[in-house]
Amino acid sequence: MKFSKLSQLFLVSSIGLLVATLLTACQIVTIDYVFVASSAGSGTSSDGQIDTYAVDSESGALRTGAPTVSSGGVKPVSMAVTADYANLYVANQTDNTLVHFSIALNGVLTSKDTVTTSNTPVSMAVDTAGKYLYVVSGPSPALLTVYTLSSGAIGSVAFQQPLSLSTVSSSYASDVLAPTGVAVLANTSTVTGNGVFVAVYDQSAYNPGGTVTSNANPGWIFGFTTGSGGALSAVAGSPWKAGIKPSAVAADPTDRFVYVTDFASNQVIGYTIQGGSVLSFMLDGPFSTGTEPSAIVVDPRGKYIYVSNALSATVSAYAITLATGTPSAAVNTTGSSTNSTDAQPVGIAVDPALGRFVYTANLLGNSVSGFQLNPNAGTLTPTQATPYPTGEKPSALVIVPHGNHAIQTVNP
């Protein structure tokens, strides 16, 4: 059978449209960008780097995104983003720098400004209003420093709070405290005081293989409320005991609970947040983890907790009992409480766009491990082609949603 030229043109056009439709249907859709901070080289003077990865909406697989950029300093150890996901901050430990980057809608990072801290930065967080950057540094001394933010730019020091156990006992005033993490409640929190919480351990009381000079409890969590101009005031009863060697701290999105990982005791310690940001121990805690828990995150819906365990190279998963905040029975598709990662996971994050993927930064594996999160059960399964290679010794990661996606939230 023969076709007229018009019929042939129509047939070719139809086939082309069909092929284009099929290609579009199979096109990878990016829902998030994952930023991973790592050391670029083995030399002590080598700048760190930030690698960018795009998250596939269907599988959670990572692919290379925007070009790698310098972290602006040596040995990056912590990252934080503003609530509008327009600004990224990186703390570089060796040269004591804090570097601010703008985040474009396509995930491109642009270095904006840098400040130098008075001593070694360890961890940081940004308040949800984008007004202040909270940085813990130390030891000798251990400090919580509040920097002003203006359109994302790091400004002057608004307030600096020394961390000391002198209020617990005058005999502990000279103890050497090592801060490990900081968490900030939302500015819209229903809890009076917009609490700021800092995890530390006492090196004078906990010094494996070395001399112990204090009989103080080793692990603590300090609580502060935020006042005018960024000033901090100690919360009544602060600091509270926090095991032996607290390694990370996180609050749930409803600002009702705080969770601290204890690196030395392989457990999570839970607290309920009372009025004035006072903490109270969860009665049925602490809760077992894998070996050497290093980082903790609560999913954006406030239903699940995930903990990266450095030595056992696993992720522990828990369902939160919403009435009490208790990390109840661990959840996993196999019935186990752990999920395997690459070597020594030290950072963990949940994607904010769909709340369906979990990623860990693996320090010794030089990689990121990915998991798909079942939002109905909290269970984890490995993403396609995990783990994904990174720069040398990745130490921190953060995730921002792609500009065309909303984010998962929960209302208090």
| Encoded amino acid at 82, one letter | T
Tens-place pLDDT, residues 346-400:
999 999 999 999 999 999 999 999 999 999 889 899 999 999 999 999 999 999 9
Q: How many C-beta atoms lie closer than 10 Å to residue 9's C-beta?
A: 11
Q: How far apart are CA 251 and CA 270, in angstroms?
A: 10
- For 86, phi then psi, to 5°, come to -100, -15
Q: How far apart are CA 101 and CA 108, in angstroms?
A: 9
CB contact set of 196 (below 8 Å; sequence gap of 6+): 125, 134, 144, 182, 183, 184, 185, 223, 224, 225, 226, 232
Token pair for residue 326?
């208790």
Distance of CA 381 to the CA centre of its chain: 20
Q: How far apart are CA 245 and CA 223, in angstroms?
A: 17
Nearest to residue 37, comparing CAs of 334, 391, 298, 375? 391
Token pair for residue 64?
């290379």
| Encoded amino acid at 37, one letter | A
Q: How far apart are CA 185 and CA 95, in angstroms?
A: 29
Token pair for residue 3?
């076709």
Tens-place pLDDT, residues 113-158:
999 999 999 999 999 999 999 999 999 899 999 999 999 999 999 9
Alpha-carbon dihedral 391, 60, 258, 261, rounded to 10 degrees: -50
E strands, 267-387, in order: 267-273, 279-281, 287-288, 293-298, 304-309, 314-321, 326-330, 338-340, 345-350, 357-362, 367-373, 380-382
CB contact set of 237 (below 8 Å; sequence gap of 6+): 223, 278, 279
Token pair for residue 149?
């933010």
Q: What is the pLDDT along the chain (412 residues), one digit of tens a residue?
A: 444 544 443 443 344 334 333 333 445 688 999 999 999 765 555 789 999 999 999 999 999 999 999 999 999 999 999 999 999 999 999 999 999 999 999 999 999 999 999 999 999 999 999 999 999 999 989 999 999 999 999 999 999 999 999 999 999 999 999 999 999 998 655 565 679 999 999 999 999 999 999 999 999 999 999 989 999 999 999 999 999 999 999 999 989 999 999 999 999 999 999 988 999 999 888 999 999 999 999 999 999 999 999 999 999 999 999 899 999 866 665 545 569 999 999 999 999 999 999 999 999 999 999 999 999 889 899 999 999 999 999 999 999 998 655 566 664 3
Q: What is the DSSP letter of 172?
A: G
* pTM exceeds 0.95: no
- For 20, phi then psi, to 5°, come to -60, -40
Strand partners, 94: none
Residue with tokens 């006042």: 227
Nearest to residue 256, comparing CAs of 283, 275, 239? 275
Nearest to residue 397, comparing CAs of 43, 126, 53, 41? 53
